[in-house]
Each structure stands twice: as C-alpha cells, then as structure tokens.
Homo-oligomer: A and B are copies of this chain.
C-alpha cells in the first residue's frame, strides 16, 4: 500500500476522540493591581461560575490563532497584545462532558478595554488577583501556573513593556513589576538596573508634560528597546520558601 493509498483508507474514528480547547489567562494592571479577565459561564457545566475565557478550537485553526480569537471575542483587543502558550491540561475527569484537553495561554495587555460578554458567557469582568471568586474546572490551577510564568518572564524578558504604553517612564515600568510581583521595589536600584540592561529601554529624549499628580519633577520618557532577553536579568528578591 502506497503512502497515498494508506492515507485515503485512513479512518480518523479509529482513535479516541478528544475535544481540544484553549483557555486564556489575560492579565492587565488596573490601579496598580494585577487583574485577570474572567467570564461568567452561562451554561452547564459550572453555570453561573466564573472561569477563564476559552473555547473549542475550530477546524483548520491553529492553537495560537484560537487563543487570540477567544481573547478578542471577550475584549475586542487585537492590537498590542502579547500572547504565548503555557501548559496543557488533560486529566480525564477535568470536564464532566467528555474528554477535553485544554491548552492554556497567557496574554498581557497595556490598556483595559471594558470586557464584553462573548457568545456563551453571561458576563465578563476584570478581577483583582487578590479578590478572585471560586473558579470553574481546574482553572485555579491554570491561573496559578500562569501567574508564576508571568512573574518569571518579567525577570529575563522585556515583557513588562507590553503592560505600558508606547512610551513610558521608568517609574511606570517599576509599577508594572511591583504589581505583577506583588512587592515594593527600591526605586533607585530599579532605575539603575533598568538603564544598565543593554537594549531594554531607549530614551526618546522627551519628558512627561508635567510632574506627577502629587508633585515631583517631570520624568524622562523611554520606549522599548530591541533586546529579547534581559542581561543581566532582573531577579526577584529572595524567595526562600520556594527554593527548598
């Protein structure tokens, strides 16, 4: 049997059918606090419960595209969104309907369009990371993994610039790190560090139009540089409990 004959005779039903979904952990910063996009489920299972936005992949649709589509359906965001794949989850009983394997994605957005409830969601909203409701499925676990990934990525990639506007001040960038890591940082050391990493930010030569709302000088404006990796990295303060 030739390879083409083999393929013509091939029966897809011979293999166990599984549904594949994408779930998106979309993060933004509101009022200095990290927020995640959640949707309220309109249908069983877990009707009425909040969950990560997501849905089934479509025939002919790549995983990355499916994630971007799901995110756009809930937020209308299509521009300036960083999106990357995280892990996949496939415990046999994670969805009561059938065998579902879910590929999770992480998305960062600088501004925050008010979310819009998608087709199968009753509602959609940004939730502060420290005021989460109980989530459907195994989405708490997925969210936890996503947060850890986001925090780690800030250390060695210029990802933080995806949270701020086209141009930004060093202090704005610092507030991104503080929000995602959930820690206060030493302003002086942070400033020195950012400027010492080649290619992280480049000066625009401009400054802000005025000082901060509570005073202080005008800050210099920067834009993202061309570095893809930060070297040296910006490491989080000691995490004694995570080491052992």
What is the count of identical protomers in the complex? 2
| Contacting residue for A229 out of B45, B91, B96, B242, CB 8 A | B242
- Chain B residues, Cβ within 8 Å of A1: 44
Asked if A88 contacts B88 (CB within 8 A), the reply is yes
Does A98 sit at the interface, judged by CB under 8 A?
A: yes
**1/0 per position for A44-86, CB-CB distance to B under 8 A?**
1101000000001111111100000000000000000000010
Question: Nearest chain B CB to A41's CB is how many angstroms away?
Answer: 11
Interface size on A, residues (CB 8 A): 50
**1/0 per position for A1-34, CB-CB distance to B under 8 A?**
1010011001011011111100000000000000
Q: Which secondary structure dominates chain A's binding surface?
A: loop
**Chain B residue with the shortest CB-CB distance to A58:** B16
- Chain B residues, Cβ within 8 Å of A44: 1, 3, 6-7
Asked if B16 contacts A47 (CB within 8 A), the reply is no
| Contacting residue for A231 out of B47, B96, B243, CB 8 A | B243
Question: Nearest chain B CB to A206's CB is how many angstroms away?
Answer: 24
- Chain B residues, Cβ within 8 Å of A242: 228-229
Asked if A103 contacts B91 (CB within 8 A), the reply is no
Interchain CA distance A187-B59 in the complex, whole Å: 53
Question: Nearest chain B CB to A153's CB is how many angstroms away?
Answer: 12
Instruction: Please list 16 pairs of residues, one from A and one from B, whose beta carbons are closer than 8 Å in the complex, sorted by A's number.
Output: A3-B44, A3-B45, A7-B44, A12-B97, A12-B98, A15-B98, A16-B56, A16-B59, A17-B19, A18-B18, A60-B92, A63-B101, A90-B103, A199-B244, A228-B242, A228-B243
Q: A15-B98, A18-B18, A229-B239 are in contact. List 11 more A-B contacts (CB 8 A).
A: A1-B44, A6-B45, A18-B57, A62-B91, A63-B89, A63-B91, A88-B103, A229-B242, A231-B238, A231-B239, A231-B243
